[in-house]
Chains A and B, each alone.
Chain A
Amino acid sequence: MITTQRSPTGGGGLQSPRSPSSQPPFLSVSVTDPAKMGNGVQAYISYKVITKTNFPDYQGPEKIVIRRYTDFVWLRDCLFKKYKGIFIPPLPEKSTVEKFRFSAEFIEMRRQALDSFVNRIALHHELQKSEDLRTFLQADEQTMERARSQDTGIFKRKPADLMQIFRDVQSKVSDVVLGKEKPVEETNPEYEKLKRYIFELEDHLAEAQKHAYRLVKRHRELGQSLADFGKAIKLLGACEGDALGTAFSELGAKSEMLSIKLQREAHNLLMNFEEPLKDYVRAVQSIKGTIAERANAFRQQCELAETIKLKEIDLNKLRLTRSERMLDAEHEYEELKAEGEEATRRFETIVRLMNEEIVRFQDEKTQDMGLAFHEFAKGQARLANGIADAWRSLIPKLDSLSSS
């Protein structure tokens, strides 16, 4: 089931599962029911992944599989490898702090993010066609495990590796200084602008997210202090006695009640605002990975072009001398040319895809953020109303107090 965070973008085409079979194709996924499996150090969380679809290669109207975090990572890596140029949806981070790995809040945050992840893939007009996606959504657990361990060794590229590639690209200045050969870089001013935008955007977003998280904490702290205050006031009321004492007791009770409201609002703020914001940050980081891939592809293309040129010179020399190596050289030359075309084609695909993706991405984020802002304001309004209501209910009591 698509969660409320998602709004339908183009592609995908969501329909109710109950429509007649002549409906357009749809693929609807949900990640639910986190369950702790195993014990001790080996313990992990498994999730139920429910797929509802009418895609031809997919099984049945509905299929449920069990997956764990590393399965999602596998999927992301496969897609990243095979769909260069497309902004692969981001995954939540691996948990670094052991203590919180199984906290309810962390698990819920992760589940939500994983659900986002799969849904975005399912809704993407290209990514939804992926075979790896199908494996992920349909294969039984053993097949999944085999696939996961197979691809781990050879193809698994950690985000750290991607960052390294990107850093290589960015270190052109130092290379020049060190007298190394200047690495080839696109000289596309628009693209330069885009790269810089992505980088700076990440910084701004990260800061906003940090403050958003702090705001969540403040709500919790205010809630806690209200609870403590309420308790102390109640005790004070017991001391005072008579009408005033009752008024104090009620004030204390309301404080404790509001404390709960604040905790609830803190949670709401976390899940429906801070997490989408964090998701935004991750998405921007993922784009950096794509940028790195593009740089790679460009470099390959350039390198091949260089090699081809050299080969051509070589070949012409051989032609003049009518060497017996000429045929082989010609053969190699043809192969190289094909590779070159392939590299160019790959690069151009990436460029084209990125241009499309940037538009889709901005669109998606505007919608996601719009929804998040809406949730923020709604939450704050709800909180303010709750607070006002709670205190208002004390008025009759205080009223009788002043007349006593």
Chain B
Amino acid sequence: MERSENQQDRINSSKEESEEEILFNLDDSSLTSKSFSNYRSVMTSLSDDSHHPLASPADTDPLLSPPSPSPPPKNPNSDNNSHSDPLTYADVDFMSPITNGEEARSAENPREESESLVPLSTPPPPPYLKITVSNPQKEVESTNSIVPGGNTYVTYLITTKTNMPEFGGPQFTVRRRFKDVVTLSDRLMEGYRGYFIPPRPDKSVVESQVMQKHEFVEQRRHALEKYLQRLAEHPVIRQSDELRVFLQVQGKLPLLPTAPVTSRMLDGATKLSKQLLGDNSGGGSVRIQPQDVVQPAKSRWDFLRIVKEMNQSVSNDWGGSKPPVNEDDTEFLQHKERLLDLEKQLTSASKQAESFVKAQQDMAETMGDFGLSFIKLTKYENQQAILETQRKRAADMKNLATSAIKASRLWRELNSQTVKHLDTLHDQMGLILGVHTAFSDRSSALLTVQTLTTELDSLYSQAEKLESASSRTFGSDRSKTLKLGELREVIRVTEDAKSCATREYERIKENNRTEVERLDRERKVDFKKMLKGFVVNQIYYNCGCFLKLWHIQRKLGRSGQKLQRKAVDMLNMVVEWF
């Protein structure tokens, strides 16, 4: 049996016997592809009943499946197999199911019931909306162009796959340009105030020449895909008309950008309130959409006047440094502070994760170069060998070199998995940026209410004065009566506006609350998954791959049965656990 031959070899070689040495002396057969294929069979048996939404972590990531019905391999030693060769890539190919699974994860929305495993009888299929962006193409702006030849712009092919009934079809495509995305984003901001809407990709202040560069287009394509996918994952936004229209309606996008008159008018007000509200956003994509009333004002004059008043009250406070908004909801303020802190920490963690991933990549590359340089040395020594010692050295070198090259590949794989897991940090960071718009929606709504309240107070006191004045004179002063009438009309309109604004404010508050809950909940789920994935990944590669690889290299002393079992147990536990 090959296994006993290996043991014999080991006994015959080095006599080092420190604990450390024994620790690394693992029998080949304990960590062979047979063990891995056991894992694999465990995984595939699980993925068969993986349509269960409650088994959600399982169907997306084979290594994260719940305990398998079949007994995990306790003694692979007893499973004899023919593999005593150094780790082959057949063993490591085992990891590929993870990559396939990861893609599916983003499209599904199984988060709501992911933690417990309560079986349901016939669960409805989870809503599924997957969007991909591809095939960028240059197009020419055809109409109204003074300059012949016109401007060029890029359109992207947006492909949607869904099982949601609103869309009326499982798959469809449409071509959109970046301007359309901006429109979509603006409309969503207006229409879904208080929600955590992911920020859209930046407009780029570049020349059209640069815009046509392949790299930039690819970057933008990727960013658009991420943005649209995030929208698709938001439980409320995914059902919006705006999104549906964007994804489905052929030809020109039938969404109007925000009415320019309104936005010009309200821009001044917004800018000031933005400065005063002190919402410091790190994302650089804060947009306060200034529609302060949901229902259109009774008359244009009234609306403008209200806005002017608001502008005035805002500018009156301009001298002061504290925000004019009197937010008294302490719970909200706590959440806000927490989320801002979280954003900061996420940004930092995300950055460090990037450095870490780069360092792993560098390790992979250098290990590979290192291995290659020794391959060259080996070849050379073999060519030139005159003495036996040279051949032996060449053989030793070859072992080292091939191990290093294998290690390099394993590092690369480890890293690509790591990237996928740690990407959660980037994703969460992106999601949390949506918080800023939601919170400033709230602030501006509150500001409106407070402004209108102040306005009403002054109107009432004006009315009182007028009334007391006119009651003192005996004859009816026709002009004063008229004025009072007008004033009372204004008061009525303002009262209406205020109750609208209050309703709007309450609505936004509620949206904020549910969104904070949702964000926190989903983030925790994602993070738990990230932690598990990351840890398992590291253990798998270090314990299962590297350890085995370098152990074989060393060909040390007597086999430590106890320690074989330790390493095997470690891997078993990892499998069982998931």
Contacts and interface: CB of A to CB of B under 8 A. Distances in A.
B11 interface: no
A211 interface: yes
Q: How large is the interface on B (under 10, 10 to 19, 20 to 34, 35 or more residues)?
A: 35 or more
Interface stretch (B216-224, B300-308, B386-394): B386-394
A225 B574 contact: no
A377 B380 contact: no
Given A197-B384, A225-B358, A358-B387, 15 more contacts: A200-B380, A211-B373, A214-B366, A222-B363, A229-B353, A235-B348, A362-B390, A363-B387, A366-B390, A377-B553, A385-B547, A388-B538, A391-B539, A398-B531, A399-B577
B338 A381 contact: no
A247 interface: yes
A365 interface: yes
A348 interface: no
B539 A392 contact: yes
Given A218-B366, A229-B353, A359-B387, A366 B528 contact: no
Given A218-B362, A251-B531, A382-B24, A362 B387 contact: yes
A232 B351 contact: yes
A310 interface: no
B554 A229 contact: no
Contact of A373 (B352, B380, B397, B527): B397
A170 to B, nearest CB: 19
Contacts of A210: 373
A255 to B, nearest CB: 8
Contacts of B346: 236
B377 interface: yes
Contacts of B570: 388, 392
A367 to B, nearest CB: 8
Contacts of A404: 115
B215 interface: no
The 8 closest A-B CB pairs, nearest first, are: A384-B546, A388-B543, A377-B553, A381-B550, A388-B542, A211-B370, A225-B359, A232-B349
Contact of A384 (B359, B374, B393, B543): B543
B342 to A, nearest CB: 5
A213 to B, nearest CB: 10
A381 B373 contact: no
A205 B547 contact: no
A385 B23 contact: yes
Nearest to B394: A366
Interface in A339-397: 358-359, 362-363, 365-366, 369-370, 373-374, 376-378, 380-385, 387-388, 391-392, 394-395
B7 interface: no
A204 interface: yes
B550 to A, nearest CB: 4
Given A236-B346, A247-B531, A388-B538, A402 B115 contact: yes
A244 interface: yes
Interface in A298-330: none
Q: Interface majority SS on A: helix, strand, loop or mixed?
A: helix
Interface string B324-353: 000000000000001001100110110111
Contacts of A297: none
B54 to A, nearest CB: 13
A235 B374 CA distance: 43
B355 A394 contact: no
A217 to B, nearest CB: 8
A395 B537 CA distance: 12
B400 A366 contact: no
Interface residues of A, number: 66
Contacts of A392: 539, 543, 570, 573-574
Given A226-B356, A233-B349, A201 B380 contact: yes
Interface in A190-207: 193, 197, 200-201, 204-205, 207
A166 interface: no
> Which of B356, B400, B524, B573 neighbours the largest number of chain A CB atoms within 10 Å of its CB?
B356
A8 to B, nearest CB: 15
- Per DSSP, chain B at the interface is helix
B374 A208 contact: yes
Contacts of A43: none
B551 interface: yes
A285 B214 CA distance: 50
B528 A402 contact: yes
A334 interface: no
B387 A248 contact: no
Given A200-B380, A236-B346, A366 B389 contact: yes
Contacts of B374: 208
Interface in B533-566: 534-535, 538-539, 542-543, 546-547, 549-551, 553-554
Interface in A220-244: 221-222, 224-226, 228-229, 231-233, 235-236, 238-240, 244
B467 interface: no
A231 B532 CA distance: 19
Nearest to B544: A388
B550 A384 contact: yes
Contacts of B387: 358-359, 362-363
Contacts of B351: 232
Given A373-B399, A392-B539, A365 B393 contact: yes
Given A366-B390, A401-B528, A204 B366 contact: no
B396 A381 contact: no
A239 B543 contact: no
Interface string A140-173: 0000000000000000000000000000000000
Nearest to B425: A236
A244 B527 contact: yes
Interface string A54-84: 0000000000000000000000000000000
Nearest to A394: B535
Contacts of B437: none
Contacts of A376: 400
Interface string A243-286: 01001100100000000000000000000000000000000000
B20 interface: yes
Contact of A204 (B352, B376, B538, B546): B376
B60 interface: no
